[in-house]
Amino acid sequence: MSVQWGQAASGICDLLDCGEYKKEEEKSLEKEILRFEQVTGKGRKFRLQNVDFTMKSGYIYGLTGRNGAGKSTLIKTILHEQSRYNGAIYVDGIPVKENYAAACRKIGYVSEDNVFFEKCTAMQNAEALGVFYDDFQIERFCKQMQAFDVPVSKQYGAMSRGEKLKCQLAFAIAHQPVLYLRQRQEWTQYSGFSFLIVCAGWWRTKAAAYC
């Protein structure tokens, strides 16, 4: 498993007018967003051993490796409160182990799993789940759903796979995370890529569309 590449996030997509954030957030580029310090842990089948790396804002990182290399385990170690590991993980300077809720509010996760309520509409999901995020803005969610051409009145369970991913991404954009995590399975000889999009401000919304 390795962090395969880092690519500047600028110019990837212009789905949103991000000018309002540009001047303020350009200063945030190169800020440390995700850091692993000697992380050793074990999932159900896979183990992480002395993982050490830093990711800075304004870049897209690809996590690649063969089956069993530990890509999913690494992401679950960040996201799951019950993860058991030695070492330290920081999201935007917040220690995940000591302040899990605050760290998670900094993360936008787009999953292949159905993480929203199937029988509720996109708007009902946003209203119910948005309250857990301090910076969630329903107007931003609606604007992004419109840009994605997915009706907020549509039931989540009736959406196609692509529409569900767009709904999750719109929700993530609406609470303004500093780190996007998108796990994406591609059936190649390496069988699986995980994209970690590490962005800030107006870069966030541009880079998010890449996943």
pLDDT(122) > 60: yes
Question: pLDDT tens, 131-144?
Answer: 999 889 999 999 99
Q: List, in sequence order, every residue forming a beta bridge with 182; answer none if it has no partner.
A: 110, 195
- Strand 2-8 versus strand 47-56 pairing type: unpaired
Question: pLDDT tens, 149-200?
Answer: 999 999 999 999 999 999 999 999 999 888 888 766 554 444 455 555 554 4
Question: pLDDT tens, 67-109?
Answer: 777 777 888 888 888 888 999 999 999 999 999 999 999 998 8
Question: What pLDDT is stored for residue 186 in this prediction?
Answer: 52
More confident residue, 111 or 9: 111
Residue 111 carries which side chain, given as an amino acid letter?
S
More confident residue, 194 or 46: 46
Residue 202 carries which side chain, given as an amino acid letter?
W
Residue 167 host element (H or E): helix 161-174
Question: What pLDDT is stored for residue 136 in this prediction?
Answer: 94
User: Which residue stretches of 64-154 are H helix?
Assistant: 71-79, 100-104, 122-129, 138-147
Q: Is 44 left (phi over 0), alpha (psi -120 to 50) or beta?
A: alpha
Identify the residue whose tokens are 């767009």: 166
pLDDT band at 110 (very low <50, low <70, confident <90, very high): confident
Residue 68 carries which side chain, given as an amino acid letter?
G
